[in-house]
Chain A
Amino acid sequence: MGHNKRVRCGMGAAAALLVLLVAFAVAGSAVGARARTSNIPLNKLTFTFGSADDAIGIFKTVGDGMVADGKQLGISVTRFDNNLDGPTALRNAGLMVQDKPTVAIDWNTVVGVGNAVGATFTRAHIPCLAVNQQIKGCHWFNLSNEMMGLGAAHVIDPIAKARGWNGHNTTIVMSIAAANGREVNNGPRYFYVSTAKALPFFKQVTPESIGPETTTIGGTNGIQIDCKSTIDGAYTATKNIIPEIPKGNNILLYGSDDDCGQGSYNALKQAGFGNRILTGGLGAAPNGMQELRTDPNWVVEGALFLTNWAPYILSEAVAIANGQSTPPLTAAPQVMLTKQNVNKYYTGNNVKELPPLANNNQYLAKYGIIQKFGKIQGLNAK
């Protein structure tokens, strides 16, 4: 064919390149695994941090904090972006181990690839710390979404009960991010379970029975929508199911985060349920805080102090670097904010004070890091 020469030319070049790369790789991989070092001085520590998604504000602040706070401490933190995507997280894990950090810290949101990601670290003998979503073979730092859901129910249910809301005149709406796994959606899940127990005439179910594919519980007792982790996703999905809610019903609403909650809340308000909703938020995002402060319907806000996670995470990583054994789950700071106590913890949208350390994160105080960056009840702030 007329393209012979060119094909041969190109094939030669590309084949040579490919063979070169492969040969290089095969030769290079014969080098053995790195030796593990364990250094106490902070400036001898190097961490890698895989961010959940740097395009989303709340996640970005954690990454920013890791790098900035780390720098202040003298710890070098190399940053990667997992982009909420499994294969990307896996690739980043591969790149992280290349850096040979003291500890690899990774926030991978795609549950399913946890095994592969963890295996990457394990194979390279690099200790790892999983943030939020568990990774097999790694230490774990996370908030408890379950506690959020229970805490929200704890605040909201008495108010509802006093108003005479029950399973015959009320629907519980759960706004969840189906693709993000079970743990992330424990908030709405436990909210339903707890509320169904506290108020009469609700169909009661076990938390295990509520899954991402659940759409209704007990007819119109519970309705679950997939917010797709965005405000507009929540809005659209909620708008679509509003016809299924009896027009005169009251609404108890809880979302897996403030975006999901807000989007669903807006849709329900627009549809005319505005004076019959009780809701709360999860995440203490600016919109959630605003609603908590100004909207009579929004009575609780689960604060997880995401913006302050960095020092906690860094502390745990330092602990790991020093060979300290850690509890299966190290808890992130969290508290249920109400209209009454919000100003204790927040000035405006800025964190004033952090809740006291609990049993499973007490050990973090040892390294003096979290105290440096925030005022924690029960600890001396610097």
Chain B
Amino acid sequence: MTHPARAGLVVPLRLEARSLNKRYGAQVALRAVDFELAPGEAVAVVGENGAGKSTFSKILAGAIRPDSGELRLDGQLLELRSPREALRAGISYIPQELAYVPNLNVADSLLIGRWPNRLGFTTRAAVRKEAARVADEFGVELDVRRPVSDLRLAERQLAEILKALARRSKVIVLDEPTASLTKEETLNLFRVLRGLCRAGVGVIFISHRLDEVFEIADRIVVLRNGAAVADVPTAETTTAQLIEHMLGVAIVRAERDVQAETAEPSSTQLPTLRVIGYSRPGLPDIRNLNFELRRGEVLGLFGHRGSGADVVADGLGGRIGDFEGRIECGGKEFAPFKNPGEAKRAGIGYVPPERKRDGLVLGMSIDANISLLVLERVSHAGVINRHTEQRQATEWRNRLAIRSKSVKQSVESLSGGNQQKVMLASRLEVHPIVLVLNDPTRGVDVGARAEIHKYLKEEATERGTAVLWITTDAEEAVIVSDRLLVMRDGEIVGELRSAAKTQANALALATEEVASTAVAG
């Protein structure tokens, strides 16, 4: 019951998991995983997609139950049958896709639902006061009266943490918390987390960003294929070693600009999209990007949040209008787009990342959303032809396997994956020359993700659409792209093709540490 790493210091464990097993039919999601967390400790859990991180955190969050194994909190055995029980026990889970009730303010959102004895507070004023006090205590700078919907993502996260604190949680699990934060916000978050640790709260931190993991974690646990393959104090390891553990293979040294032998001869065809001298000061500074994209090609653009990849996508989509440089699209030359209409007219179909906020009108029906970009096509002299619209939507429904009762259903009631498909359909319906996808499978279940991958690949290979696929998921980047560009801090730091197009190389390029030469293994 004591932690081996803290030699000489006998401290009862805050959280202890022994031999957690979970399988789904033939697949094993977790394989006899042991885990320990001391009070006031920050442990990072890393691993590639499919390694079992999410299964692990779901178990902690009470959403699923392990097939076998036990979980103890401060020595007490836990049988978590629901998320509410986990919360009540003192484990707070802060997800990547933050859920919130839009119109509540921070303080009131503390009262959501029937928390056990309403935290002991009876009036809103009391809650607000307590929220403010807690915020103060942990150095969280947040005006607790503001409505949650007003908050930026970073602030929402802090609000979630506040909620956890107000519940007097003992363990806080954060899932990819820095994915959408700026450098500053990240530092602020870490500061808050350190404060929590000092106060004895245990922090479990799931992340892809190895450089950050080194900043905040005391210990790092690496999962691979469902097993915990490493558990080391941060001070005693390196990024390269972590990557090795994560992938289980030796990595070849990757030079800065990796050129692999190309299997196909370079095409004499003019590129469908050429981006020249694309730059924009900001967060981060995007400096002089140059790349090109061919007909029927899927070009991946991979970078962690903050690398600028999503900003480039926004720029090409016309959402951000102050880029400099030149764009050649479909043989014509353009100045950087000032608004979405210009991009659309140039032949670019832009799929924004946050579908509910930016890509769909939730109150409207499926077919109305699908026709939103092509209203001229489903109408005649300004009058909408509902049959055409419905037919169009039905075709897409079949093509993309959108699960809904009818195309007249409002988009609000669909699941995330289906909503994503509707948004995709609306963009594809324009028959763009270039499709710019900004994180198109975020928050989408695995089944829908596979369907989307398949369809978009077809879109490229069969219909010849040039696809620029921006993603923060290295595995996805490698799977979908023919060629992969890696961005970091506003620059393209490498292009990976054929054999060199691997997760390891992508990760290495994206996280500033060049993989070390490994002995054959």
Contacts and interface: CB of A to CB of B under 8 A. Distances in A.
Contacts of B408: 1-2, 4
Contacts of B368: 1
Contacts of B364: 1-2
A5 to B, nearest CB: 9
A4 B407 CA distance: 12
B365 interface: yes
B349 to A, nearest CB: 24
Interface in A333-349: none
Interface in B346-377: 363-365, 368
A291 B515 CA distance: 100
B367 to A, nearest CB: 9
A8 to B, nearest CB: 12
A4 B365 CA distance: 10
Contacts of A2: 363-365, 408-410, 412
Contacts of A1: 364-365, 368, 408, 410
Interface in B8-37: none
A210 B368 CA distance: 64
A2 B368 CA distance: 9
A104 B363 CA distance: 54
Contacts of B410: 1-2
A2 B361 CA distance: 11
Q: Could you tell me the dominant secondary structure of chain A's interface residues?
A: loop
A2 B409 CA distance: 6
Nearest to A2: B410
Contacts of B412: 2
Interface residues of B, number: 8
B114 to A, nearest CB: 31
Interface in A3-19: 3-4
A33 to B, nearest CB: 47
Nearest to B410: A2
A3 B408 CA distance: 9
B337 to A, nearest CB: 30
Interface in B405-427: 408-410, 412
A3 to B, nearest CB: 8
Contacts of B363: 2-3
Contacts of A4: 365, 408
A152 to B, nearest CB: 61
Contacts of A3: 363
A1 B409 CA distance: 7
Interface in B86-144: none
B207 to A, nearest CB: 39
A3 B412 CA distance: 12
B389 to A, nearest CB: 10
Interface in A57-80: none
A137 B408 CA distance: 61
Interface string A1-41: 11110000000000000000000000000000000000000
Nearest to B412: A2
A2 B364 CA distance: 6
Nearest to B368: A1
A113 B400 CA distance: 66
A1 B368 CA distance: 6
A4 B384 CA distance: 14
Interface in B197-252: none
Nearest to B413: A2
A184 B412 CA distance: 63
A4 B367 CA distance: 13
B436 to A, nearest CB: 28
A4 B363 CA distance: 12
A68 to B, nearest CB: 53
A1 B364 CA distance: 5
B339 to A, nearest CB: 26
Nearest to A4: B408
A3 B364 CA distance: 8
A1 B410 CA distance: 7
Interface in B316-354: none
A147 B309 CA distance: 86
A91 B408 CA distance: 45
A365 to B, nearest CB: 72
A9 to B, nearest CB: 15
B345 to A, nearest CB: 27
A233 B35 CA distance: 79
Interface in A316-338: none
Nearest to B366: A2
A7 to B, nearest CB: 12
B247 to A, nearest CB: 47
A286 to B, nearest CB: 49
Contacts of B409: 2
A1 B365 CA distance: 5
A2 B365 CA distance: 5
B255 to A, nearest CB: 55
Interface in A359-374: none
Nearest to B362: A2
A242 B365 CA distance: 66
B419 to A, nearest CB: 14
A184 B368 CA distance: 61
A238 B500 CA distance: 88
A192 B134 CA distance: 74
A3 B409 CA distance: 9
A73 to B, nearest CB: 62
Nearest to B361: A1
A250 to B, nearest CB: 60
A2 B363 CA distance: 7
B354 to A, nearest CB: 21
A3 B362 CA distance: 12
A185 B280 CA distance: 69
A1 B367 CA distance: 8
A172 B408 CA distance: 75
A372 B364 CA distance: 73
A363 B365 CA distance: 76
A23 B193 CA distance: 72
B473 to A, nearest CB: 32
Interface string A103-134: 00000000000000000000000000000000
Nearest to B411: A2
B280 to A, nearest CB: 38
Interface of B: 363-365, 368, 408-410, 412
Interface of A: 1-4
13 contacts: A1-B364, A1-B365, A1-B368, A1-B408, A1-B410, A2-B363, A2-B364, A2-B365, A2-B408, A2-B409, A2-B412, A3-B363, A4-B408
Given A1-B410, A2-B412, 13 more contacts: A1-B364, A1-B365, A1-B368, A1-B408, A2-B363, A2-B364, A2-B365, A2-B408, A2-B409, A2-B410, A3-B363, A4-B365, A4-B408
Give the 8 A-B residue pairs with the shortest CB-CB distance, closest first: A2-B410, A2-B365, A1-B365, A1-B368, A1-B364, A2-B364, A4-B408, A2-B363
